[in-house]
Amino acid sequence: MAERYSSFTPGGTAWFLQRITAAFLVVALAFHFFLLHFVNHAADVTFAISQQRMENVGYFITMTLFLVAGTFHGVNGVYNALVNQGLDGTQKKVVLAVLVLAGAALIFQGTWVALAMAGWI
């Protein structure tokens, strides 16, 4: 039987955060679908309605956490998938740097948009 290899250290911080963000994303995504497909139909959602929702502090925090958790989960998953495929050495460091910068840029831009939609900047 083939040996199972994973770049995640079982019980390590990255391993733990990957699972926590996955659980949060399942709940936040369910909330998102419920809100946009059952409470409000997607075709009826306008920019003004989105702005109004973002003015609610609870909604704003939930969506910002959704952004951060999704970004971390995706970046961490891609990085570890590449490491599992044999990425190492300088390439591993470069890929990690690019993914961290891209993730930070995504979080910055998404937070900036959320703040603007909420009318806080």
Split at pLDDT 50, 70, 90, the class of 39 is confident
Q: What is the mean pLDDT of residues 9-36?
A: 91
Does residue 37 lie within any of the structural domains? no
Q: What is the DSSP string of 64-94?
A: HHHHHHHHHHHHHHHHHHHHHTT--HHHHHH
Which residues form the domain of 102?
Answer: 46-121
Does residue 11 lie within any of the structural domains? no
Structure tokens at 20: 């926590």
Does residue 22 lie within any of the structural domains? no
Backbone angles phi, psi at 27, to 5 degrees: -70, -45
Structure tokens at 54: 């973002």
Split at pLDDT 50, 70, 90, the class of 72 is very high
Chain-centre distance for alpha carbon 34: 19
Residue 10, burial from CB neighbour count under 10 angstroms (0-12, 13-18, 19+): exposed
Does residue 113 lie within any of the structural domains? yes
Q: What is the mean pLDDT of residues 14-19?
A: 93
What is the value of pTM for the model shown? Answer: 0.88
Confidence at residue 106, expressed as pLDDT on a 0 to 100 scale: 98
Count of structural domains within the chain: 1
Does residue 34 lie within any of the structural domains? no
Give pLDDT tens digits for 23-32.
Answer: 999 999 999 8
Give pLDDT tens digits for 98-120.
Answer: 999 999 999 999 999 999 999 99
Does residue 25 lie within any of the structural domains? no
